[in-house]
Amino acid sequence: MANPSIADKISGKNGAAASASDIEAQLEQLSRDVAELTRIVASFGNGKVQDATNRAARISNEVAEASAEAIQSARSTLVSAEEDLEAHIRNKPLQAICIAAGVGFLAALMTRR
């Protein structure tokens, strides 16, 4: 014969009257089950938080590396452009002076207004 359910014990079915100790034992078991479920859910949540933290750290490292590469690329491009400009000025100094004077004249005209 199967054990009577809690509802059967409380209602007095199957000739078994619910005693205070039976109800107390069931409530204690329920309390332990809820505590275990809470621990499991918290553990699951902590695992998800750790996964998200690891993923964020990995993405952060990738972005930092990509930024460093972009900065290095920009720096090398600027150095190359500076070297080209210096070579052009050394090869054609008169033309460089005329261009600089023209740019200065245009800047003066624009700031006057």
19-39: per-residue pLDDT in tens? 888 888 888 888 888 888 888
- Whether 52 maps to a domain, the answer reads yes
CA distances, 14 to each of 3, 8, 9, 44, 68 (Å): 10, 7, 8, 41, 77
Residue 5 DSSP one-character state: P
Q: Into how many domains does the chain fold?
A: 1
- Whether 93 maps to a domain, the answer reads no
- Whether 27 maps to a domain, the answer reads yes
65-107: pLDDT as tens digits: 999 999 999 999 999 999 999 999 999 999 999 999 999 999 9
Q: Please report the pLDDT score of residue 1 as a whole number.
A: 43
| Domain range enclosing 37 | 6-88
- Whether 99 maps to a domain, the answer reads no
5-20: pLDDT as tens digits: 666 655 555 545 568 8
- Whether 33 maps to a domain, the answer reads yes
- Whether 13 maps to a domain, the answer reads yes
> Rounded to whole angstroms, how far apart are CA atoms 13 and 32?
27
Residue 2 has pLDDT above 90, yes or no: no
- Whether 19 maps to a domain, the answer reads yes
- Whether 103 maps to a domain, the answer reads no
- Taking the model in full, what pTM does it have? 0.47
Residue 54 has pLDDT above 80, yes or no: yes
Q: Please report the pLDDT score of residue 44 as a whole number.
A: 79
Residue with tokens 């089950």: 33
Amino acid at 48: K
Q: Please report the pLDDT score of residue 15 as a whole number.
A: 46
